[in-house]
Structure formats: C-alpha cells, structure tokens
C-alpha cells in the first residue's frame, strides 16, 4: 500500500459530508471524489472540498484505495460488494446492512479479497466510553437511553437499526455472556417502522440491560449507566463526560473520570486509515457489526410480532 491513500466517499448526506471533511484533515489522504445520486448535492460537497463529483459509484470506486459508504442502509450491500470485489478497503456506516445474509456475504468477500472491512459503530471511539470501559468489571445492570428529534434521514430503517444499534454494539462488547431472554416493545409513529422502542435483555451471567431509543423526542440524549458491585458509572456520550459513584462507608462519593475530548467520528476514520496502512484488524470489523445486526434483527422481529398481534 503506498504512503498516500486515495479515498472515495459514497453518499453526500450528513454523515457523508462529515466523512469527506475528516478525510481532508488527514495528511496522507487524497480525496479523489465524492458520489451521490443527487448531482447537485455531490457537486456542492465536491466544490467545498476541492474534489470531483460523481453520480455513479462504479465510476469513482476504481480510482480509490479506500471507500467510505454513507448511503442509505438499503444500498450498503450493493455498494460495498462492488468496492470489495475491486479490492478496496471499506468503511461502512452502521448498520453494516439491513439483512443478515448480505452481512455474512460481505464478511466472506472481505476475507476472500483480503481487504479491511470496518463498520461505523462510532461510540466505540467516544472518549467517555474509552475511559469508562477500563474500569467496567462484571456489570450487573446497565441502562441505556438514546433519544433524538425526528431526523428526516435513515427512514428506510426503524429506530432499533438507526439508533439503538449503537448501544447494542456497546453492550455486546461489555458483557461476555449469552442472552437468555429478550423483551421488546416498539411503536411506529411517524414512519412505517418503529420510531420508539424499549428492550430488556437478560444474560446468562445474571446481568440485565434496559435499552430505550426514540427518534421522536424533543431532546437529544445519549447516556448509559453501568452498575457494578458497590459502584456505578454514568456516561454521557453527547458531552463526553463520565462519573464514578462509589459506596464508601455510609455515603456515596462522585468522581469525574479524566477525559480528553475528541471528535469520535474523526478518531474512527483515522483508526480505519491506520488499520489499512498497517494491515491491522479494525476495532469494529464486519464480525462485531454482524453480531450487533443479529441482535437488532431479533429485537425488531419481536416488536413487529407483538404489534401484529395487537392489530
């Protein structure tokens, strides 16, 4: 792999625009183009970052070494399949796909063509999570809240695939035990898919996890609380803060965890490019992304089965 990496960004929406900007801030990256089916949107982003605009990813991808895919989830598979078959290293925004069979196929293709496949579970790169993760040991109960105003994007998937999957990925990384039972409810309010969902996971080791996700909230919340023996950790992804609450004698002490705040998506993209340059396994490979997708799929099936019975 040459010292300079040529990158193509496919999808020029909110996330694609962030990917594009971040790549221009990495010294050894050369942005060879951006692509979107909306020619005006592609041209605007290209002009902002002094690169070329494309409307056909099949024309752009062969010119690159690495490809960022920030298109709607329903198109992830076809774009990633094309890129991997052309031996390009790929970073796909989460979820990897909306279909388990397609996700398995991408993992196999990446192995076959010996390319890096990373998936954009960005909270893994959040400074607050990285700091808190070091002191998490045998969690007993975890509570996650992820709330957003209506996004007007990612409307081809429900809130479980759109938002909750971030917390699903984090939970699966923290708890090394099998899930024995899933309770899940969800309601579609503004889209044909669930827009708000609440899930309770029971793990074999006794840990219980509550997850709530909504994309019809008037506030933004990205929080997780992790309860250990005599300790609990409160973490806010949004402001990158974390506190430890400990029982000492007959009182509770609160201590801030030292955190050096950084832009998580920039850390994620930089990590991806370092993995490509040094032939390293990414923090979130296709396999971790598949496990998150598998649980998200089970949850959405339970929600839809329950909704069908109510109707």
CATH number at 185 reads 3.30.360.10
Q: How do residues 103-124 score in pLDDT, each as one tens digit?
A: 999 999 999 999 999 999 999 9
Do 73 and 146 reside in the same domain of the chain? no
Assigned domain for 291 exists:
no
What residues make up the domain containing 255? 126-261+296-310
- The pLDDT of residue 6: 98
Do 119 and 130 reside in the same domain of the chain? no
- The pLDDT of residue 203: 98
Do 149 and 236 reside in the same domain of the chain? yes
Side-by-side strand order, sheet with 89-93? 53-54, 29-35, 5-10, 66-69, 89-93, 117-120
- Pairwise CA distance, residues 24 & 64, whole Å: 14
Mean pLDDT across the stretch 202-223? 96
Give the model's confidence band at 1: pLDDT under 50 very low, under 70 low, under 90 confident, else very high.
very low
- The pLDDT of residue 153: 67
DSSP character string of 22-55: HHHTSTTEEEEEEE-SSHHHHHHHHHHTT--EES
Give the model's confidence band at 183: pLDDT under 50 very low, under 70 low, under 90 confident, else very high.
very high
The number of distinct structural domains making up the chain is 2
Q: How do residues 241-286 score in pLDDT, each as one tens digit?
A: 999 999 888 889 999 999 999 999 999 999 999 999 999 999 999 9
Assigned domain for 165 exists:
yes
Q: Which residues are within 8 A (CB) of 117 and not within 5 positions of it... i.e. 6 or more apart?
A: 80, 84, 89, 90, 92, 106, 107, 110, 282, 285, 286
Mean pLDDT across the stretch 184-199? 94
The two beta strands, 5-10 and 196-203, are unpaired
Q: How do residues 26-82 score in pLDDT, each as one tens digit?
A: 999 999 999 999 999 999 999 999 999 999 999 999 999 999 999 999 999 999 999
Do 249 and 179 reside in the same domain of the chain? yes
Q: Is the pLDDT of residue 202 over 80?
A: yes
- The pLDDT of residue 225: 97
Do 86 and 185 reside in the same domain of the chain? no
Assigned domain for 231 exists:
yes
- The pLDDT of residue 154: 64
Do 226 and 196 reside in the same domain of the chain? yes
Q: Is the pLDDT of residue 311 over 80?
A: no
Do 272 and 182 reside in the same domain of the chain? no
- Which tokens hold the place of 40? 């005006």
Q: How do residues 153-182 score in pLDDT, each as one tens digit?
A: 667 789 999 999 999 999 999 998 999 999
The percentage of residues in the chain with a pLDDT greater than 90, rounded to a whole number, is 88
Report the chain's mean pLDDT, rounded to a whole number.
94
pTM, 2 dp: 0.93
Q: Which of 5, 7, 4, 120 is closest to 61 using CA atoms?
A: 7
Burial string for 226-251 (b: 16+ CB within 10 Å, else e) reads bbbeebbbbbbbeebbbbbeeeeeee
């Amino acid at each position: 792999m040459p010292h300079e990496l040529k990158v193509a960004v496919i999808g020029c929406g909110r996330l694609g625009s962030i990917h594009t900007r971040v790549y221009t801030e990495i010294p050894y990256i050369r942005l060879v183009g951006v692509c979107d089916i909306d020619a005006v949107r592609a041209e605007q982003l290209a002009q902002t970052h002094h690169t070329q605009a494309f409307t056909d990813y099949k024309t752009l991808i062969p010119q690159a070494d690495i490809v960022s895919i920030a298109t709607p989830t329903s198109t992830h598979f076809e774009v990633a399949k094309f890129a991997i078959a052309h031996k390009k290293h790929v970073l796909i925004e989460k979820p990897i796909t909306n279909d388990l069979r397609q996700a398995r196929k991408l993992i196999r293709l990446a192995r076959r063509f010996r390319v890096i496949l990373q998936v954009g579970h960005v909270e893994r790169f959040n400074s607050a999570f990285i700091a808190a993760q070091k002191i998490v040991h045998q969690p007993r109960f975890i509570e996650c809240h992820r709330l957003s105003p209506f996004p007007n994007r990612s409307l081809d998937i429900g809130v479980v695939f759109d938002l909750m999957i971030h917390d699903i990925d984090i939970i699966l990384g923290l708890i090394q035990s099998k899930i024995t039972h899933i309770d899940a409810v969800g309601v579609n309010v503004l889209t044909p898919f669930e827009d708000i969902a609440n899930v309770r996971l029971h793990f074999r080791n006794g840990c219980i996890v509550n997850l709530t996700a909504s994309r019809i909230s008037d506030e933004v919340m990205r929080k997780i609380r992790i309860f250990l023996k005599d300790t609990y950790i409160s973490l806010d992804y949004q402001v990158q803060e974390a506190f430890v609450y400990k029982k000492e004698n007959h009182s509770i002490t609160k201590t801030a965890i030292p955190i050096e705040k950084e832009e998580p998506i920039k850390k994620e993209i930089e990590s991806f490019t370092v993995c490509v340059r040094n032939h390293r396994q990414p923090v979130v490979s296709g396999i971790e992304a598949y496990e998150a997708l598998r649980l998200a799929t089970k949850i959405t099936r339970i929600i839809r089965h329950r909704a069908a019975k109510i109707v």
